[in-house]
Chain A
C-alpha cells in the first residue's frame, strides 16, 4: 500500500468537487437518512453527481427489488437483515474514530501486527483520524467507507491508456463505456442482492484496459468497513478489450465491531477476444466474536463473461472473514476456446458460515474450466461448497475439471459439498474429484513429538492443504494470505 501526498491531495479534491456540485457540506450530515426509499436513492445519486440516466437506472432497480425476496437456498442461518435500519450512504468522517492507537481494540492491533502492517498503516486501517495520527499524516489508497479515493498510480496507467478509477467517476467521465457494459454480465434483476446493489451502490472500481495493452501493474484497492450501520455496496466493473491483460487484487481488513453489517457487492468482468483477467481476493472481514456475535454479512455477486474467443477469466479467492459468506464467483464461457478458472480457499472458524463456490457456464465450443476449491472448517463453523458446471447444447468439446477438498479441524464443525452438473452436449467432459479429511489427533501428536507446537502444526498441515491455490496468487498477496490463514485458525485447537 503506497501512501503518498498526492493521494491526500486527491482526497481533498473530491471534497472540493462536492462543494462544486453544491451538496451537503456539513461533515456531520454527510450521511443519507437511515433506511431505504426513493429519496435515499436520489440522495446517493445526487451525492455522486450522477447524470439523470443513472438515477433512473437506480430507481428502476429499486422498484424491481421491492418485488423480490431474499434467497433461502443457501445453507446459511442468520437473522434477516433489517433493510430499513441501514444507512446506505456515508462519506468518511473527519471527526469520529479513535484518537490514537491506544483507543483501538488491542485484539485488532495484534492482528495487524501479525500481518506485518506498519504502524502508520495500522493507524489508517484502525480509523485514527488524520489530525490525530502520530505515525502517518497521509492517506493510503483505500475505500474509506463509501467514497473511493483516487489512486496513486493514475499517471502511469494513463500513459498505458488504462482507465482505473472509481465507478462514480467512470459514470461521469466515461458514460459510453459504463452504459455499454454495466449490468451486461449481472443483469439488474439477477438476484435479490445484486438488484439491491444496483439501486444503492455507493462506490467501487472501474477498469478499462484498451486493445492490446498489458496493464503495467497489478491494480489493487484495499477495502474496509469503518462506520457502524453502514451497508457497503460496492460495484466493480472491469473490461479487458481485445488482446489485453489485467490482474486485479482486492483485499480488506475490518475493525472489530459489535453489530451485524450487510455487504452486497457486485463485480462484473468482461474479457473480449484473446483478453485475460485475473481477479484475486483476500477477504478478511470481521467474523464476529468468540461467541459468534457481530460480524459482517457478505452477499456478493461476482461474475465474469468470457465474451469472445480465446478469452480467459481467473478468480482466486482466499475467504477467511465475515460471519456469513454468500459468494459464487462465476464464469460465462461464451467465446470459443475461452477458459474459466476458480481457485478458492474458504476458511471458517468460530461460528462463521460460508456458502461459496462457483458456476461455470459453458456456452461456446471447446471452452474449458477448472475449479480447485479448498474448504477448511474449524470451531463451530459451517462451510459449504456449492458449484454448478453446465454445458449448453452448442458447447461441444467443453471440458471441466473440479477438485473439491474439505478439511475439518475438530468435531463441531461441518463441511458440505453440493456440486451440480448439467450437460446438454454429449461431447462435454466433466471430471469431479472430492475429498474430505480431518486433521487427526495422531497427525497432531506426530508434529508435536517432533517439536512443532499445536498452532504451528495446524498451520503447517493447512498450508500443505491449500498450497495449490496459494500458488495462484500474485507473490506479495500469497505471503499475506498465508499469514492470514494462520491467524484465522488461531484458537482452533486445544
Chain B
C-alpha cells in the first residue's frame, strides 16, 4: 500500500528526514516511536503533502502512485488521512459543514457524486455518538475552543467518516483522558480491515495495548533505526531511547 524509499526532507536548509525506508502492506498496523524532535511529525506532514518541506531525495508510492506529485487534497481523495498532532481551528466554519464539504469534495474527486444530506446526517450521527462527539460540537466552529481531547476525538470522527485507506495518527493519544483513550481506540479499531493500513505515531506503549501493531519502528534523527514486533514497544517503555541516542552519538 505505502512504500517510502530513501526519503530525505529538509526545511529551511535543516535536514530532518535522512533516508527513511518504510513499507506498509494492506491491512497492516505500524507504529512509530522515537524521541521528541526525531522527525515523526515531519514524516506525517510530508506524507500528507504540507508544502513547507523540500524533498531532496527518495520517493513515496501509494498503491503504486507517486504521491510526491500530488496536491494534498488529491492525496486525501485517494485515501490518505492524517490525524494531526495539533488540529487547526477554523473560525466561522461549522464542524458539520466542514465534514460535509470534505466528504463531498473527496467523493466528487473520485467520481462518486455527493452524498445526499439525509444520508450524510445519518452517518455523522451514528459515528459521532460512538466517538462521544456531541451535537453541540458538530454545530460549533471547527475545533475553535475545543479542548485538547475534543480536538483529537474530532480528528477520529473525520477519519471514520472519510474512510481512508491509510490512516496516519500523529500522537492521537496525547491529551486524552483514560476513557477517551478507550473510546478513540475503539473508533480506530472499528476501522481495521484487510484493505486499510495504519501508521500510528505515539510516545506511549499503552496505546498499543488497544491498537495492536504488527510492526513497531524506532525513529531517531530522521531515520528508522530499529524495527520489531509489538514487544519492541514494551522494551522501549522500560529502557528508553538511550540505546539509540548513544549509538547515534558515537
- Residues of A that sit less than 8 Å from B by CB: 437, 440-443, 445-454, 456, 460-461, 463-465, 467
- Beyond A449-B49, A452-B102, list 14 extra A-B contacts (CB 8 Å): A445-B88, A447-B90, A449-B50, A449-B76, A450-B102, A451-B76, A451-B106, A451-B109, A452-B73, A453-B73, A456-B101, A463-B92, A465-B92, A467-B92
Residues 80-94 of chain B: 1 if any A CB is under 8 Å from the residue's CB, otherwise 0? 011010011011111
Q: List 30 A-B contacts (CB under 8 A).
A: A437-B91, A442-B88, A443-B90, A445-B51, A446-B84, A446-B87, A446-B90, A449-B48, A449-B50, A449-B72, A449-B76, A450-B76, A450-B102, A450-B158, A451-B103, A452-B102, A452-B105, A453-B71, A453-B73, A454-B71, A454-B73, A460-B97, A460-B98, A460-B101, A461-B92, A463-B93, A464-B92, A464-B97, A464-B141, A465-B91
Do residues A448 and B73 form an inter-chain contact, with CB atoms below 8 A? Answer: yes
In the complex, which range does the number of interface residues on chain B fall in?
Answer: 20 to 34
Known: A446-B87, A452-B105, A456-B101. A464 touches B162 (CB 8 A): no
Residue B77 is within 8 A (CB to CB) of chain A in the complex: yes
Bound CA–CA A448/B50 (angstroms): 9
Do residues B93 and A464 form an inter-chain contact, with CB atoms below 8 A? Answer: yes
- Hey, which chain A residues are within 8 Å of B88, CB to CB? 440, 442-443, 445-446
- Hey, which chain B residues are within 8 Å of A443, CB to CB? 88, 90
Bound CA–CA A148/B128 (angstroms): 55
Q: How far is the CB of B64 from chain A (nearest CB, A)?
A: 20
- Hey, which chain A residues are within 8 Å of B50, CB to CB? 445, 449
* Of the residues A441, A456, A461, A464, contact of B105 by C-beta under 8 Å: A456
- Hey, which chain B residues are within 8 Å of A450, CB to CB? 73, 76, 98, 102, 105-106, 158, 162
Bound CA–CA A465/B75 (angstroms): 27
Known: A449-B72, A452-B102. A464 touches B158 (CB 8 A): no
Bound CA–CA A87/B80 (angstroms): 60
Q: How far is the CB of A38 from chain B (nearest CB, A)?
A: 53
* Residue among A440, A446, A465 with most chain B CB within 10 A: A446
Do residues B141 and A451 form an inter-chain contact, with CB atoms below 8 A? Answer: no
- Hey, which chain B residues are within 8 Å of A464, CB to CB? 90-94, 97, 141
Q: How far is the CB of B9 from chain A (nearest CB, A)?
A: 16
Residues 197-221 of chain B: 1 if any A CB is under 8 Å from the residue's CB, otherwise 0? 0000000000000000000000000
Bound CA–CA A467/B52 (angstroms): 31
* Of the residues A441, A451, A461, A465, contact of B73 by C-beta under 8 Å: A451
* Residue among A451, A454, A464, A465 with most chain B CB within 10 A: A451
Residues 89-118 of chain B: 1 if any A CB is under 8 Å from the residue's CB, otherwise 0? 011111001100111011001000000000
Residues in B94-152 with C-beta less than 8 Å from chain A: 94, 97-98, 101-103, 105-106, 109, 141
- Hey, which chain A residues are within 8 Å of B87, CB to CB? 446
Bound CA–CA A456/B71 (angstroms): 14
Q: How far is the CB of A140 from chain B (nearest CB, A)?
A: 32
Bound CA–CA A400/B119 (angstroms): 44
* Residue among A441, A442, A450, A453 with most chain B CB within 10 A: A450
- Hey, which chain B residues are within 8 Å of A461, CB to CB? 90, 92-93
- Hey, which chain B residues are within 8 Å of A454, CB to CB? 71, 73
Nearest B residue to A459 via CB reads: B101
Do residues B141 and A452 form an inter-chain contact, with CB atoms below 8 A? Answer: no
Q: How far is the CB of B67 from chain A (nearest CB, A)?
A: 13
- Hey, which chain B residues are within 8 Å of A467, CB to CB? 92
Nearest B residue to A453 via CB reads: B73
For the complex of A and B, 4 pairs with smallest distance between CB atoms: A464-B92, A451-B76, A464-B93, A451-B106
- Hey, which chain B residues are within 8 Å of A447, CB to CB? 73, 90, 98, 102
Nearest A residue to B82 via CB reads: A449
- Hey, which chain B residues are within 8 Å of A452, CB to CB? 73, 101-102, 105
Bound CA–CA A440/B93 (angstroms): 14
- Hey, which chain A residues are within 8 Å of B103, CB to CB? 451
- Hey, which chain B residues are within 8 Å of A448, CB to CB? 49, 71-73, 76
Bound CA–CA A460/B109 (angstroms): 17
Q: How far is the CB of A493 from chain B (nearest CB, A)?
A: 12
- Hey, which chain A residues are within 8 Å of B105, CB to CB? 450-453, 456
- Hey, which chain A residues are within 8 Å of B102, CB to CB? 447, 450-452
* Residue among A445, A446, A449, A454 with most chain B CB within 10 A: A449
Bound CA–CA A448/B109 (angstroms): 13
Q: How far is the CB of A479 from chain B (nearest CB, A)?
A: 16
Q: How far is the CB of B8 from chain A (nearest CB, A)?
A: 21
Bound CA–CA A463/B82 (angstroms): 25
Q: How far is the CB of A154 from chain B (nearest CB, A)?
A: 40
Residues 35-51 of chain B: 1 if any A CB is under 8 Å from the residue's CB, otherwise 0? 00000000000001111
Bound CA–CA A195/B213 (angstroms): 78
Nearest B residue to A467 via CB reads: B92
- Hey, which chain A residues are within 8 Å of B109, CB to CB? 451
Q: How far is the CB of A206 from chain B (nearest CB, A)?
A: 39
Q: How far is the CB of B112 from chain A (nearest CB, A)?
A: 12
Q: How far is the CB of B87 from chain A (nearest CB, A)?
A: 7
* Residue among B81, B102, B141 with most chain A CB within 10 A: B102
- Hey, which chain A residues are within 8 Å of B76, CB to CB? 448-451
Bound CA–CA A11/B75 (angstroms): 56
Q: How far is the CB of A262 from chain B (nearest CB, A)?
A: 36
Known: A456-B105, A460-B101, A464-B141. A451 touches B90 (CB 8 A): no
- Hey, which chain A residues are within 8 Å of B73, CB to CB? 447-454
Bound CA–CA A452/B106 (angstroms): 7
Q: How far is the CB of B92 from chain A (nearest CB, A)?
A: 3
Q: How far is the CB of B21 from chain A (nearest CB, A)?
A: 24
Bound CA–CA A335/B15 (angstroms): 70
Bound CA–CA A135/B113 (angstroms): 31
Q: How far is the CB of A213 from chain B (nearest CB, A)?
A: 38
Residues 43-63 of chain B: 1 if any A CB is under 8 Å from the residue's CB, otherwise 0? 000001111100000000000
Bound CA–CA A437/B93 (angstroms): 14
Q: How far is the CB of A434 from chain B (nearest CB, A)?
A: 15
Q: How far is the CB of A452 from chain B (nearest CB, A)?
A: 5
Q: How far is the CB of B115 from chain A (nearest CB, A)?
A: 13
